[in-house]
Chains A and B, each alone.
Chain A
């Protein structure tokens, strides 16, 4: 007999936050809260979104699942595949590239022994390449767990990575 998986419902604390967010929009435009709801759900579920989460968000906002799916697949900060405990997004777009982002990215790959786009074998760190982060005058820059890290040097990066590997993700 196949045991039916229990349906995921948004926990109450998320529901409350989404309710609060919905106040920003006209009451007949609940869909405007979708990015907020998806990011919240993502953060609450190990940094990535499964189908059941999209279904729960759809139910809660009273919109079609496909509308949520369309959105979830469009935005780069919404992750549909597993990510490590920490997410490191390194910008190598033009201003950062001119300031040595390519070398920095290679250094990180070597240091973590993974390729860009991969997660370390201990599941602690996912490395990704980012588009311009809007911190170009402090290049090279990256975002680690939602926090900007700017004017990067190898030493600075190494220290940040060491902290992450030690389980300190702030």
Chain B
């Protein structure tokens, strides 16, 4: 089987993987042991695999591993820093925004991507962006609440 070596940055660490050419970025990330990027559909719909690609949310299942060459990828494993959870992680816990937790990393990356680029996003905008990912357990309201609360928390940090 044809394999290909690809180098990219994963959570600020240079990474090199050798994988079949048909492997996706989700395969590549997961092959490093960072399995928090979940896979639920492999067709871009569910959002469980959402990561940040050069700071923007993207589906890791809709990109060949080879296409990640030289790019900056951030995943759930890169959120906590210095032994402290990211405010979005804290907020998901506090607002009970997860039940089974399968969708959680994807939702958090989606939210972090949004809040970093649009710290003043309106609640309507937040809800519209969150409609990109699927959760089968929570009914969404706790997720929306968690992201709106995290937005406040992040704003507080900046000030």
A and B part of one assembly = no
Interface residues of B (CB under 8 A from A): none
Chain A residues engaging chain B, CB cutoff 8 angstroms: none
